[in-house]
Amino acid sequence: MSMIFDPFRELDRVAANLLDRRESPRVMPMDLYRDADHYVLTADLPGIDPGSVDVDVDGQLLTIRAERTPRSLDGVQWLARERAAGTFLRQLTLGKDIDTEQISAHYENGVLSVMIPVLEKAKPRKIEVATSNERQEVSA
């Protein structure tokens, strides 16, 4: 197998390795959107063991933590090793109108989906508008 040497890519790799602190948690890419009466958070966690995924709520703080263990194969010579291993962490402060008791999570095909419901009092509601014929007189 032939490999083409790219000095700029090699410089990027060396710089990333120097600046990369293995003990610090890595950030996972995520999307967050509101769909009617709940929020949906999706986070990319490819190659993560589902048993290492931890989602918890403490007050208004939602924490997602996962771990990817590095593959250690004896007797192999790595040609490229770009997939980060270690702990992945994301923390979000939830608003006061979130039903923290009903938050649920599902992990499938490397994507973690967290459903975050909105409290009933915070859901949009229709306000009836009274007309002048229905207005009651106020006497002083």
What is the reported pLDDT for 71? 77
pTM here is: 0.68
**Whole-number Å distance between alpha carbons of 26 and 20:** 10
Residue 102 DSSP code = G
**Whole-number Å distance between alpha carbons of 1 and 21:** 32
What is the reported pLDDT for 104? 96
What is the reported pLDDT for 1? 44
What is the reported pLDDT for 36? 85
- Sheet of 30-35, strands arranged across: 30-35, 38-44, 111-117, 104-108
Phi then psi for 56, rounded to 5 degrees? -140, 160
**Could you tell me if 68 and 50 are in contact, meaning their C-beta atoms sit under 8 angstroms apart?**
no
Q: Token pair for residue 34? A: 């509101």
What is the reported pLDDT for 16? 67
Flag residues of the chain having pLDDT under 50.
1-2
What is the reported pLDDT for 5? 61
